[in-house]
Amino acid sequence: MHTISRRSLLRSIGIASTAIAAPPLLSSCSGSGSSSSAANSGTELAPWPTYTPKTAIAPDLKGDAATGIQDTYLKYPSQLTKGTSEAPGDGSTLKVMTITYGTAPTPHGQNKYWQAMEKALGVKIDFSPVPAADFPAKMATVMASDDLPDLLNLGGGTAFPHEAAFVLKTMANISEFVSGDAIKDYPNLANIPTVSWKAVGRFHGGIYGVPVQRARPSVVLWINGTNFEKQGFRPDDSGYSREDFTRLLQELTHGKQYGMGAAKDNGLNWFGAHAQYHGVPNTWSLSDGKFTTYYDSPHFKETLAYLNTLWKQRQYYPDSASTATVDLKTQFYNGTVQSYTDGFGALATTLSQVQGFRAMPMISYTTNGVTPTSWAGPGYAGYTVINKKLPKSKIKTILRVLDFLASPCGTEEYQLLMHGVEGTHFTYSENGDPTPTDLGKTENVVNLPFYNMCSAPQVLYAPNAREGIKAAYEWQRQTCPKLINNPATGLRSNTLSTAGATLSQAMDDAIIGIITGRQAVNSWDAAVSRWKSGGGDKITAEYESEYAAHTTK
């Protein structure tokens, strides 16, 4: 019952570990494939699954699926319901591979959580959770072999070369089972919002992937709310200026405490939140069928110039350019770093890890003459596909298993998935929150990520964090109605599939180089030109072709 979604930012410890969801311009599971196969132009498009909302227990604070405001639970439900009518499995064994951000699980024979999940699902799970750092290499091996799992989670925000063509060739077209009203046979999957299915995209017109849903807000600036407020900041102050923010950083940077931090392994971590505050579009702009990269926005260059100024003023944690994301998070949790960019889904982990202060996402500061933008994430953190060699009966069994895993919060199924067995993996605190036992700290959904196969739409909840969750809900109420989508989400680009990783790394290097002063701000124009000539112009043209085919309907 927590919020969780670029790969290198998903290495924090805890159930709600998150990434900054990568925009398809840079790195995306949705932007891959062959223009002559997985592309959708000229194909018959399967209708998206009919969205049918489902709530097990009424939330304390009601969300709004249309804008992305999440249902919010200030306390854990005391009475649970059933999310499914029976164990979905057929007693067979399913070979499963997913990404993981935890440690190696306890072997099956000694793992009571694993065994309990198998019993509830009615299948044996031959589980291969692959660490995030090893996932790209493992996927390269899998894609080159004939030894494919029955169920494969493509997660973590990494684009794999020819990924969509691989899916099209080896995985099952599940359109007949989930398209339109057919999804009603799987009511928990029908509860996954349409935006998440669209983020996965179609493959040559068909639906192949079940999305792993995530919160709609994208990258945010996480701040030490306690210290920010001591310097006059107020969470509801929509008139807070860039100059105010700069002065605040100067007040908070002293001794071994720094106003800002970033990490070496992701350019988006350096600029993402601040780009929004400077009015930069959400990755792509679309006008009259024409796509324009946000790199071309003059506000992007202005963002880099401003951040370079903060670097020269020594407002940044000085080791940022050599610090890994997981270590940067620690510096924020312990109060060394006062602000840093991460995904909104880091909420629950952040609230549980901070030491002696209130952490919160910051509303936009304002830049003279500019209207801030609020980027919407794609609404997913990867997707799950099914081996096409399996008979239809087995595909239906797997979809029932995924439907079980998508049972909403407030159900017995959800509690088992997220917390394990009561008395074995968790007990209830005085406040009624599930609290892990010593065994539950090792046997859990992080180390054995069943929820990366599929999970329910996320809600706002974190144990023992009522005020932090309530503040996050109020932040969503201010921010979510203004979210702008990335118009390229779900579209296919063969060039992105083949050259995206190289292009992304080159731009990350340019961004970090400019902010840290290793490169001049004016070098940005040349970097954008190299991106365009190296494949960016082709990506643009391929997106325009896909869009012209109305593949987003």
Query: Using CA atoms, how far apart are residues 551 and 234, in angstroms rounded to an integer?
Result: 43
292 and 316 inside one domain: yes
20 inside domain = no
Range of lowest pLDDT (25-34, 86-95, 298-307, 512-521): 25-34
Q: Does residue 18 have a pLDDT over 90? A: no
Structural domain containing residue 135: 31-57+72-216+380-457
Query: Using CA atoms, how far apart are residues 381 and 455, in angstroms rounded to an integer?
Result: 11
Contacts of 329 (CB under 8 A, 6+ apart): 12, 340, 342, 346, 353
CATH number of the CATH domain containing 412: 3.40.190.10
pLDDT digits (tens, 9 = 90+) for 330-343: 999 999 999 999 98
210 and 320 inside one domain: no
**Mean pLDDT, the chain, as a whole number?**
90
pLDDT at 158: 67
209 and 113 inside one domain: yes
pLDDT digits (tens, 9 = 90+) for 124-144: 999 999 998 889 899 999 999
pLDDT at 242: 95
247 and 282 inside one domain: yes
250 and 349 inside one domain: yes
pLDDT at 294: 98
Say if CB 117 and CB 416 are below 8 A apart: yes
pLDDT digits (tens, 9 = 90+) for 212-265: 999 999 999 999 999 999 998 988 777 789 999 999 999 999 999 999 999 988
**Share of the chain residues as helix, strand and coil, in percent rounded to the nearest 5:** 40, 15, 45
Q: Does residue 5 have a pLDDT over 60? A: no
The domain total for the chain is 2
pLDDT at 551: 60
3 inside domain = no
78 and 206 inside one domain: yes
What is the phi/psi pair of residue 272, to 5°?
A: -50, -55
pLDDT digits (tens, 9 = 90+) for 462-520: 888 899 999 999 999 999 999 999 999 988 888 887 888 889 899 999 999 999 999 99
Q: Does residue 420 have a pLDDT over 50? A: yes
Q: Does residue 12 have a pLDDT over 70? A: no
pLDDT at 9: 28
Q: Final residue of a domain: which of 422, 438, 457?
A: 457
- Of 31 and 83, more confident: 83
228 inside domain = yes
394 and 445 inside one domain: yes
Query: Using CA atoms, how far apart are residues 412 and 57, in angstroms rounded to an integer?
Result: 11
140 and 36 inside one domain: yes
Q: Final residue of a domain: which of 419, 442, 457?
A: 457
Range of lowest pLDDT (104-108, 514-518, 539-543, 546-550): 546-550
Residue 552's pLDDT band (boundaries 50, 70, 90)? Answer: low
471 inside domain = no
223 and 210 inside one domain: no
231 inside domain = yes
12 inside domain = no
Residue 312 has a CB neighbour count (10 Å cut-off) of 12
pLDDT digits (tens, 9 = 90+) for 280-319: 999 999 999 999 999 999 999 999 999 999 999 999 999 9
118 inside domain = yes
pLDDT at 478: 93
Q: Final residue of a domain: which of 457, 492, 522?
A: 457
53 and 155 inside one domain: yes
Q: Which residue has the tokens 């008979």?
A: 391
Q: Which residue has the tokens 């979510």?
A: 480
Residue 160's pLDDT band (boundaries 50, 70, 90)? Answer: confident
Mean pLDDT of 196-207: 93
365 and 384 inside one domain: no
Query: Using CA atoms, how far apart are residues 301 and 296, in angstroms rounded to an integer?
Result: 8
Say if CB 425 and CB 70 are below 8 A apart: no
Q: What percent of the chain has pLDDT over 70?
A: 92
Residue 99, CB-side half-sphere exposure with 13 Å CA sphere: 28
Q: Does residue 31 have a pLDDT over 60? A: no
| Beta strands in 231-386, from DSSP E residues, in sequence order | 284-287, 290-293, 339-343, 359-361, 374-375, 380-386
Question: Which amino acid type is present at position 278?
Answer: H
pTM of the entire predicted model: 0.86
474 inside domain = no
pLDDT at 549: 79
pLDDT at 124: 98
206 and 224 inside one domain: no
Query: Using CA atoms, how far apart are residues 287 and 164, in angstroms rounded to an integer?
Result: 27
Q: Does residue 441 have a pLDDT over 90? A: yes
SS3 532: helix
CA 30 to chain centre: 13
